[in-house]
Amino acid sequence: MKLCDLVTQYVAFRQALGTRYYCKGCILRSFSRKLGENKDIRSIRPQVVSKFLAGDGRLTRNWHEKYYTLLCFYRYAVTRGYVTSAPLPKVVPKLPSRFVPYIYSREELRRLLDATSACQRPIHVIEPPTLRTILLLLYGAGLRLSEALNLNLENVDLTRAVLTVQLSKFFKSRLVPLGKQLSKTLTDYSAWRQVAHPLTEKQSPFFVNRSGSRVSCLALQNTFKRLRDHTCIHRTDGGRCQPRLHDLRHSFAVHRLISWYEQGADVQRLLPALSVYLGHINIASTQVYLTMTPELLEQASARFERYARKEIVDE
């Protein structure tokens, strides 16, 4: 059987089980293209699979993501008699340390927002008001990039100050309440947009580029890279990726936790609320975002010190 046909069959099988299977499906299609669309599944040798897994040679978590995607794919192929064994490496390297997100300081966030007009020119596809509003929404509401860009007019209720995020990760939809300042920001952008790009249909995109069509993820990432370079915001901790748009979501979660500590709030009680607001299926997923920064560590240490002193006094 041709590799491309089996990949199509397997992806359809996984989707029929209720999973979107988008990212893993992309891995398998990439595997099929690399080896050849007409490649017979039985002729694939371990050497070419290892080469696909190695990629550019750096060992990252992506190696393991590709490996376990192929492992499940070949289990499917073996159980249905298309192959007798999986041509995968027998030794799986140790999983590298988890990627550490970049947490923007509030001063860096101000620099990014202040520079949205300075770094944009008429030739650029994203206009300054759109860029500034997207950045504020990603940070102010902790949205995923795709969630923000997929918003339509019908999903933004400025009267009630609430967003409807539809079928995001894990096929989940949720309501996202907005604070007064963020709600005003979106209201101001909506007014500007209706003049600059008067689209009124409910399915029209909320965020539009200079031509009036939906802002693409690639265009926004390229624009943000230019903005980041303009403001000289770079990693100095040896991290493998420069500050990203998705790090605004991490920064939102960490800054919210710091604010709760400063207010003396019951952080453990509030964590489930933060998890729901971010659209996570459990608190464990939220913990990935709560990267320890010096400021966060200081607040946590101060809270523990007050607790310890109280215990000593009570004794």
pLDDT at 57 over 60: yes
246 catalytically annotated: yes
Confidence of residue 295 (pLDDT cuts 50, 70, 90): low
Confidence of residue 171 (pLDDT cuts 50, 70, 90): low
* Of the ranges 60-64, 134-138, 253-257, the best mean pLDDT one: 134-138
225 catalytically annotated: no
Confidence of residue 16 (pLDDT cuts 50, 70, 90): very high
Report if residue 49 sits inside a domain: yes
DSSP of 11-26 = HHHHHHTT---HHHHH
Report if residue 47 sits inside a domain: yes
Domain that includes residue 202, residue range: 106-230
User: What is the percent of the chain with per-residue pLDDT over 90, rounded to a whole number?
Assistant: 59
Question: What's the pLDDT score for residue 169?
Answer: 59
pLDDT at 314 over 50: no
- The answer to whether 107 and 295 have CB atoms below 8 angstroms apart is no
Residues 221 and 116 in one domain: yes
pLDDT at 301 over 60: no
Report if residue 254 sits inside a domain: yes
Q: Which position has the higher pLDDT, 283 or 51? A: 51
Helices (DSSP H) in the chain: which residue ranges?
3-16, 22-35, 46-54, 61-79, 106-114, 128-141, 145-149, 180-196, 217-230, 247-263, 267-278, 283-287, 294-314
Show which of 230, 262, 278 is a domain's final residue: 230
Report if residue 162 sits inside a domain: yes
Report if residue 93 sits inside a domain: no
Show which of 37, 64, 79 is a domain's final residue: 79
Question: What's the pLDDT score for residue 279?
Answer: 79
Catalytic residue, chosen from 2, 210, 226, 246, is: 246
Show which of 230, 261, 288 is a domain's final residue: 230
Q: CATH number of the domain at 200, please.
A: 1.10.443.10
Average pLDDT over residues 168-194: 88
Average pLDDT over residues 129-156: 94
Q: Which of 177-191, 223-237, 282-296 has the least mean pLDDT?
A: 282-296
Catalytic residue, chosen from 169, 210, 214, 244, is: 169
Catalytic residue, chosen from 249, 250, 255, 256, is: 249
Look over the chain and give the mean of its residue pLDDT values, rounded to a whole number.
86
Residues 129 and 196 in one domain: yes
Confidence of residue 193 (pLDDT cuts 50, 70, 90): very high
User: What is the percent of the chain with per-residue pLDDT over 70, rounded to a whole number?
Assistant: 86
State whether residue 152 is helix, strand or coil: strand
Report if residue 236 sits inside a domain: no
Cα separations (Å) of 103 from 1, 192, 222, 244?
A: 48, 31, 20, 10
14 catalytically annotated: no
Average pLDDT over residues 6-14: 95
Number of domains in the chain: 3
pLDDT at 15 over 60: yes
Confidence of residue 59 (pLDDT cuts 50, 70, 90): confident
Residues 222 and 256 in one domain: no
- What is the DSSP code (8-state) at residue 2? B
Catalytic residue, chosen from 39, 111, 144, 174, is: 144
289 catalytically annotated: yes
Question: What's the pLDDT score for residue 313?
Answer: 40
Residues 127 and 217 in one domain: yes
Catalytic residue, chosen from 67, 74, 261, 289, is: 289
Report if residue 156 sits inside a domain: yes
